[in-house]
Structure 1
Amino acid sequence: MTVPTRPLRPARRGPRFDLRTTAWFFVLLALLLSLGGVIARTAAQAAQRRPVWAVILLLLASAAVIAGHRGRRRWSARRALRRATEALEAAAETAAHSLQEPAVAAAPVEAVAPPVAPAPAPAWEPATPAATTPAAGVAPAEETLLLDAAVVPQVMDYAVLDPDEFERAIAELCVRDGCTDVEVVGGAGDLGADVLAVAPSGHRLVVQCKRYGEGNRVGSQDLQRFGGTCFTVHEADIAVLVTTADFTAPALEYAEQCGIVCMDAEALTAWHLGTGPSPWETSYEA
């Protein structure tokens, strides 16, 4: 007698374990938990600031949830968790497959030799005009005129410079006209001195630079602050305040009483072009 045997059901095989997919799953899960924590903390802070509005919004949300689920099957937390887990697993598997795809090889880039930087110019050395070669057939007198025109300084707009560049430009003018020991000391804690130098006459020169825009004028308060430190703190023999703008009448009156040289934009341009005196040549001690 043959005993009937019950057919065996095929064993269900779970999904194949993938370390990369599992790692991405936990990464995405951590990100979602972090996002949920941020949202919860933000909601708590908002509730502390405006508790009345928080209670009203909570009541409205509760009413909306009750109305939305009325007449439908009961919500299952287990089913929602299972769906969220499946979505996370699918996202992790997609991210793992995208990383396994071969990267597109980039086209070879032809190596370019880096440009050679020019040698830095010595500090405070005024620019020397390049020698010009006259064209063929130019008379000697005309050649002299061309050479003279080449060494004439060009008009410079100091107002377009930033404060640091303006201080360096004033220092270069001092070097050009024979000053020694020229030093730019402007900055935080300079106590009103931007440029220090020794004039050709041997006097100690202290310069404050005021790069003001159009419409601004140096007032008496600026002169008073400079006058309180230039002689007592910096021991200036010649104190100069040079600006790209103009001075008010009270400022000029105070400067004349204290012996401070004021150079406005017009006087600065004349000093630059060589058509006007340098500040130490117009000082009250000169």
Structure 2
Amino acid sequence: MPVGKLVFNQSDPTEFVFRAFTTATEFQVLLFLLFLLLYLMILCGNTAIIWVVCTHSTLRTPMYFFLSNLSFLEICYTTVVVPLMLSNILGAQKPISLAGCGAQMFFFVSLGSTDCFLLAIMAYDRYVAICHPLHYTLIMPRKLCTQMLGGALGLALFLSLQLTALIFTLPFCGHHQEINHFLCDVPPVLRLACPDIRVHQAVLYVVSILVLTIPFLLICVSYMFITCAILSIRSAEGRRQAFSTCSSHLTVVLLQYGCFSLVYLRPRSSTSEDEDRQIALVYTFVTPLLNPLIYTLRNKDVKGALRSAIIRKAASDAN
């Protein structure tokens, strides 16, 4: 059977249903309002970064090109999950079809993988900017940045398609399966399969290594060279400025890779479904929300551009 084709067996369940966070009505309303507020903050924060980068010529550099695309990925990434999650919190649990579950898994994995690849590309960008500042524009032209972004997206789509297709060729037991999660993520769906899934878990580890371990090692190598270059700077002010351009990216890397590694690289025997769901809340809500906050609060260029944009907007409205 071709790996690149999704085939659903007739004996498979026709739909899945997500396990509720709580059955108490008052807590359902509170959770709905909390997650809705976080989702709106994610949309507003990341949209603001995209708008500022696109409208300010001073931010049209490779660093901010990658940052705006990271924000766009965060918007798409959370939108794949959160609207369906919110609709399931209030009222009766709404089932998701087998094809819908496969589609959500495909987009969730592909966008999350692109996120990880993009963070590695941003580390390389910081390495070139700090270690080769005089040749930065020659080494990182706009065409190369676009090609690296396209390559990251293409590789992520390919890996996600193969993994999703492999999982959904498995037979699932029963007609109406409950997923102990709020999205069709790989580990909880694999647990519902009837046959032996050791081969599929091995494939998941291989994909996780390609998406998480290798890019993280490349980030570590980049920052080894960056650290040596920063320590060679004589002035304390120069070292501080160089470090400040990297601290935001490092914070995001630790959050993103740390949470994903806890879910996808831990041995299955040491994990529980409830733990996976709690960690998934972090990389679904906390990380996409903190990304714009971290980059705006720790970046003078972005703060200045936002301030000037707000002032210009207020002035135009007054006129």
TM category, shorter: under 0.3
TM-score, with structure 1 as normaliser = 0.20
More strand by share: 1
Structure number with the bigger relative contact order (C-alpha 8 A, sep ≥ 6) is: 2
Radius of gyration: which is bigger?
A: 1
